Amino acid sequence: MGLITGVLTLPLAPVRGLAWVAGQLQDEAERQLYDEERIRAELLQLELDGDDGRLDERERAAREGELLDRLAVAAARRRELMHPDPVEDGDG
């Protein structure tokens, strides 16, 4: 970034900073939402709560479905990180 560009875009610095913070918060929220260990712990707690009678069968099934969906997304994200698709250059 050149000096003139830096000076001209200086008033936008707080907006860029806020956007960066928002991006970091979103990344952390997604990391927690799709943490496989966390999801498995929630599934275990759900099973315990169901066995203790704290949840009816319908609510337990609905929550279990949500957790299994999150687990599937987490596994897909992990696979994508381990084996990213090659970028196509379009020369093809």
The predicted-structure confidence for 2-17, as pLDDT tens digits, reads as follows 778 877 777 878 888 8
Split at pLDDT 50, 70, 90, the class of 90 is low
What is the rounded distance in angstroms from the CA atom of residue 55 to the CA atom of residue 57? 6
Q: What pLDDT, in 10s, does the model give residues 28-79?
A: 999 999 999 999 999 999 999 999 999 999 999 999 999 999 999 999 999 9
- The CA radius of gyration of the chain, in Å to the nearest whole number, is 22
Burial 64-92 (b: 16+ CB within 10 A, else e): beebeebbeebeeeeeeeeeeeeeeeeee
**Residue type, position 53, single letter:** G
Is this prediction's pTM over 0.75? no
- Listed by start position, the domains of the chain span 30-83
